[in-house]
Chains A and B, each alone.
Chain A
Amino acid sequence: NAGVTQTPKFQVLKTGQSMTLQCAQDMNHEYMSWYRQDPGMGLRLIHYSVGAGITDQGEVPNGYNVSRSTTEDFPLRLLSAAPSQTSVYFCASSQTRNEQYFGPGTRLTVT
C-alpha cells in the first residue's frame, strides 16, 4: 500500500493563478480531509469528505473547492491564488473517524 499520496511536493504560484493539489489513498478509507499548516497555528481543516459524492466545509474553506468523485481521490482546487494561501497543505484519510493517516504534504508559495 502506498498509503496517502500527494502531488506536487512543492509549487510556486503567482497571485491570481489557479491550480489543483492532488490527493489519493489506496486504503479504501471513507473519510478524507484537507488541512493547511501555518507557523504557530497547528493544522486547520479546509474541507472534508465522508464518502464519494459528499463533501463539506471545514474551518477555513474560503478560496478552495473540493470534489470527491471516487473513494480514492480528493483533489483540492485553489480558484485564484492569494499570498495568504502560502502554506503547507496536508491531505489525510481515515476509516474509523478517529485516527487519520496523513500524506507527505505540499508546500505552496504564492507570490
Chain B
Amino acid sequence: EDKVVQSPLSLVVHEGDTVTLNCSYEVTNFRSLLWYKQEKKAPTFLFMLTSSGIEKKSGRLSSILDKKELFSILNITATQTGDSAVYLCAVGPSSNTGKLIFGQGTTLQVKP
C-alpha cells in the first residue's frame, strides 16, 4: 500500500529559528514529490522534486529529495510568523492519473 509519512506532526519555534520538516514515502513507481503550504484554506504549491539530490529553493525555503532513502526534507531558515501553517508532502505515483498521495501534514507555529 502506498504511504507517505511526515514528521514531526507539530512544531513550535520562535522567529529567526531554522526548521526542518521530514517526509518519507513508500510508493510503487515514484514519479514526483510535492510540498504544499496550507494556511486555514486551500493548499498552495511550494515545490516539486523529481530527481534525487537536487535542491529546490525559493527565498528562505528549500527542499531536497533522496530517492535512494525515500525521503525529502523541507527547510525554512530565519522563520517568520507568516510561516505558521500546515505543510503537506505529497507523492505522485508513476501513472497516467494525476493522483497524489498526501502525508498527514506538519503543523508549524512560529512565535514572535
Contacts and interface: CB of A to CB of B under 8 A. Distances in A.
Nearest to B50: A98
A104 B44 CA distance: 10
A94 B48 CA distance: 13
Contacts of A41: 104
A16 to B, nearest CB: 29
Contacts of A103: 42
B4 to A, nearest CB: 8
Interface in A7-64: 30-31, 33, 35, 40-45, 48, 50, 56, 58-59
Interface residues of B, number: 25
A97 B98 contact: yes
Given A98-B32, A102-B42, A105-B41, A45 B100 contact: yes
Contact of A90 (B6, B42, B98): B42
Contacts of A109: none
Contact of A99 (B6, B34, B99): B34
A42 to B, nearest CB: 4
A67 interface: no
Nearest to A58: B99
A97 B32 CA distance: 10
Given A48-B98, A50-B96, A43 B43 contact: yes
B98 A105 contact: no
B9 A98 contact: no
Interface of B: 4, 6, 9, 31-32, 34, 41-45, 48, 88, 90, 92, 96-105
16 contacts: A33-B98, A40-B9, A42-B4, A42-B6, A43-B43, A43-B100, A58-B99, A90-B42, A94-B98, A97-B96, A98-B31, A98-B92, A99-B34, A101-B45, A104-B42, A105-B41
